[in-house]
Structure formats: structure tokens, C-alpha cells
């Protein structure tokens, strides 16, 4: 745990920011890679490490940051959905209904998909919880955040190393 | 925690190919609305894509690409990023580009993207999908360049530790 405290801190931060609407829109897919970069910088600062860093370490820090962000992001998302009985999914329903009507599909299939979607929306509005929504949000967060965490970790390590290389070549 | 790649003769190309497959799925999901017309099965793919891509893009309606009744699921900038990354990934793989100073271009691409965001937020000009996709494209191209360079070194690190 202590080894990955920097991942914990920035993963927690990213998890919180993931559910803040305006920041979420601004940061887009950059939130987790930025969190990984901060985690790497914090780790280097804590270990007084000024040399080149191993890409393996960058990958691990990125992955763990992404996983922490997924854990906290999912918890906060589900908690806020439970308290407010509202979320982005409810806002997207009307748009989804409009799109669904435009699709050249048979009515039975349209009905089936709409029943599934409205069932999730009804559960959220009535109980603040939907099993399907919970599973999908947890799975999506874990997949996306760990991938973007790894990408962020690798790119950040490479940038840090190339900066060290260029600093050394100046002398 | 100690990571190890199971196969000792792991090919340097397995990870970049996996990245390219992932990028092709994202690009396909982006235009999944167009697939729905071809087969009913794709309706589930569309609903799943909508849900998944909402985590990596704000999907603001005014910033999506409209084609008649259909629209992309990613905003212009994200479309540029993932399309640019996919295309440059293929180019790097085919021509085996290894020594290129991606980092300098990466800083430049971030500067362009941030400058565009600041300029249209401050109303120097209206939001332009062309500028957004162009800046995204440059960012995607440089990001995948650095990522592939990092993957190359990472594989060497793993091989060296065996």
C-alpha cells in the first residue's frame, strides 16, 4: 500500500473529478493520464529520484492509479445516484429515445431495447439503484480507467526520460 | 508486485497490435449509429458503445459530427484523437518508424489544443469542428508515437529482466 501511496492520492483525486460535471467535460479522456503523470511525479519526489525511470514502474503506477480512480469513481457515482436518484443516464434517455425512433429497426426490437433502458431509468428514479447500471458503470470504469492509466503511465515515463536525456545532452 | 510477460519470445509487435485493435474498436464504436441500419444486432453494440464512450468523451451534442439522422458518439476533438492515433499507429507499424522526436511534437500538439480551447472559450472565434478535429488529430498522432516508443522500450525491459 505504502509503495503506491502516490497512485492512491491521484487516483482518489481523479475518482472525485470524474463525477464533477463541468470538470468531467473539460478533462474528457485526459483526466486519468494526467492523474498517472501526477502519481509518477509524486512517487519520484517522495523517493528523491532524479534519474531515468523504468517503464515497468511507470506502467505499474499508471495501472494502479487507474484502478484506484475506477474504485473511487464508481463508489462516488453510485453514491450520488443513490442520494439524488438522478444521473447522466437519466439525462441521456430522451436523446436515446429520439435516436431509437430514427433507426430503421423492427418495432419488436425497438420495444425490447426501450423496455430495458426505461427499466434502468425507472429503477434509478424510484430506488436510486439499478443492478444493470451498477454492473455497467463498474465494468466500464475498470476497463477504461485501467487502460488510460497504463497509457498515461507509459507516456509520462517516456516524457520524463526524454526530458532527462535532453537535460544531460546540454552539459 | 512483480509483472512478467509469460512468453519468453514475446514479439515486440503483440502489444502495438493490441493497441491498434483497441483503437479500431473505439473508432468503430464512434460510428456505431451507422451500423444499426445494416443489421439489428448492432443496436446492442450501439447502446453499449454509447455507454462506454460516455466515459471518455463529454459527447456534447453541438460538438458531434452530424450526418443526416445519425451522428458520431465522440466529439470532433476526440474523433480526431482516436482516428489520428489509429492511422499513425498503422503507419508506424508498417514503416517501422523507431527514431523520431515525438516528444517535441507532443508538446506542440498540447499547446495547439489548449490554445484552441482558450481562444474559443474567450470568444476570439466560434467553436470550429474543423479546428477541433485538426488539433485532436495532431495530438493523437504524436501520442501514439510516444506510446509505441514507450512500448518498444518496455518490451526490451521485460526481455532484459528474464
According to DSSP, residue B12 is labeled T
pLDDT at residue B146, as a whole number: 93
**Does residue B2 fall inside a structural domain?**
no
Q: Does B52 touch chain A (CB under 8 A)?
A: yes
Distance CA B34, CA B42 (A): 9
pLDDT at B2 over 70: no
Average pLDDT (B139-152) is 93
Q: ipTM of this predicted complex?
A: 0.83
- Interface membership of B3 toward A (CB under 8 Å): yes
pLDDT at B18: 92
Residue A146 has pLDDT above 90, yes or no: yes
Residue B20 belongs to some domain of the structure: yes
pLDDT class of B46 with cuts at 50, 70, 90:
confident
Report the distance separating Cα B34 and Cα B152, nearest Å: 36
Quickly state the pLDDT bin for A28 (edges 50, 70, 90): low
Give the total number of structural domains in chain B.
1
3-state secondary structure B25-88: HHHHHHCHHHHHCCCCCHHHHHHHHHHHHCCCCCCCHHHEEEECCEEEEEEHHHHHHHHHHHHH
CB contact under 8 A, B143 and A155: yes
CA gap B154, B145 in Å, rounded = 14
Q: State how far the alpha carbon of A105 is from the alpha carbons of A93, A98, A122, A125, B74, in Å.
A: 18, 13, 24, 28, 23
Contact B149 A158 (CB under 8 A): yes
For residue A20, what is the DSSP state? -
The answer to whether position B78 is within a domain reads yes
What pLDDT sits at residue A1? 62
CA distance A122 to chain B (A): 17
Q: How confident is the model at residue B65 (pLDDT cuts 50, 70, 90)?
A: confident
Of B147, B130, B144, B145, which Cα lies nearest the Cα of B77? B130
- Its domain, for residue B20, covers 8-160
Place of cell 466529439: B75
For residue B1, tell me if it sits in a domain.
Answer: no
Contact partners, residue A94, CB within 8 Å, separation at least 6:
none
What's the pLDDT score for residue A18?
85
Question: Does pLDDT of A26 surpass 70?
Answer: no
Poorest-pLDDT segment among A18-32, A135-149, B33-47, B135-149: A18-32
Question: Over chain B, what is the mean pLDDT?
Answer: 86
Crossing angle of helices A107-127/A131-170, nearest 10°?
Answer: 80
- Asked if A162's CB is within 8 angstroms of B150's CB, the reply is no
Of B56, B61, B154, which has the smallest distance from its Cβ to A56's Cβ?
Answer: B154
- Average pLDDT of the residues in A89-103: 76
Place of cell 482558450: B118
Residues with Cβ within 8 Å of residue B134, at least 6 apart in sequence? B80
Q: Answer whether B70 touches A (CB < 8 Å).
A: yes
Chain B hits for A88, CB-CB cut-off 8 Å, are: 54
pLDDT grade, residue B23 (50/70/90)?
very high
Going by pLDDT thresholds of 50, 70 and 90, the confidence category of residue B162 is low
Mean pLDDT of B113-135: 92
CB within 8 Å: B58 and A109: no
pTM as predicted:
0.86
Span A2-21, pLDDT tens digits: 678 999 999 999 999 888 87
B96 in a domain, yes or no? yes
Least CB–CB distance from B150: residue in A109, A147, A158? A158
Amino acid at each position: 500500500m505504502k509503495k503506491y501511496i502516490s497512485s492512491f492520492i491521484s487516483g482518489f483525486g481523479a475518482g472525485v473529478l470524474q463525477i464533477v460535471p463541468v470538470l468531467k467535460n473539460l478533462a474528457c479522456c485526459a483526466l486519468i493520464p494526467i492523474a498517472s503523470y501526477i502519481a509518477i511525479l509524486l512517487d519520484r519526489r517522495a523517493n528523491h529520484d532524479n534519474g531515468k525511470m523504468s517503464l515497468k514502474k511507470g506502467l505499474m503506477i499508471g495501472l494502479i492509479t487507474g484502478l484506484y480512480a475506477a474504485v473511487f469513481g464508481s463508489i462516488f457515482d453510485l453514491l450520488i445516484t443513490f442520494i439524488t436518484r438522478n444521473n447522466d443516464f437519466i439525462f441521456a434517455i430522451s436523446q436515446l429515445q429520439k435516436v431509437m425512433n430514427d433507426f430503421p429497426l423492427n418495432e419488436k426490437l425497438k420495444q425490447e431495447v426501450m423496455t430495458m433502458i426505461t427499466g434502468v431509468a425507472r429503477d434509478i428514479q424510484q430506488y436510486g439503484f439499478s443492478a444493470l447500471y451498477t454492473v455497467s458503470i463498474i465494468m466500464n470504469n475498470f476497463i477504461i480507467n485501467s487502460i488510460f492509466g497504463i497509457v498515461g503511465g507509459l507516456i509520462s515515463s517516456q516524457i520524463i526520460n526524454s526530458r532527462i536525456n535532453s537535460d544531460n545532452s546540454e552539459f | 508486485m512483480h509483472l512478467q510477460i509469460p512468453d519468453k519470445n514475446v514479439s515486440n509487435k503483440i502489444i502495438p497490435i493490441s493497441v491498434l485493435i483497441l483503437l479500431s474498436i473505439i473508432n468503430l464504436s464512434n460510428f456505431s449509429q451507422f451500423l444499426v441500419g445494416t443489421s439489428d444486432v448492432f443496436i446492442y453494440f450501439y447502446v453499449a458503445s454509447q455507454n462506454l464512450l460516455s466515459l471518455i468523451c463529454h459527447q456534447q451534442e453541438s460538438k458531434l459530427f452530424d450526418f443526416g439522422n445519425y451522428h458520431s458518439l465522440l466529439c470532433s476533438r476526440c474523433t480526431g484523437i482516436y482516428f489520428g492515433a489509429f492511422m499513425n499507429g498503422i503507419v508506424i507499424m508498417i514503416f517501422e518508424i523507431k527514431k523520431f522526436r515525438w516528444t517535441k511534437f507532443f508538446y506542440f500538439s498540447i499547446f495547439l489544443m489548449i490554445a484552441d480551447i482558450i481562444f474559443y472559450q474567450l470568444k476570439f472565434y466560434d467553436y470550429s469542428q474543423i479546428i477541433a478535429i485538426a488539433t485532436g488529430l495532431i495530438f493523437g498522432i504524436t501520442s501514439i508515437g510516444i506510446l509505441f516508443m514507450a512500448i518498444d522500450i518496455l518490451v526490451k525491459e521485460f526481455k532484459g529482466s528474464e
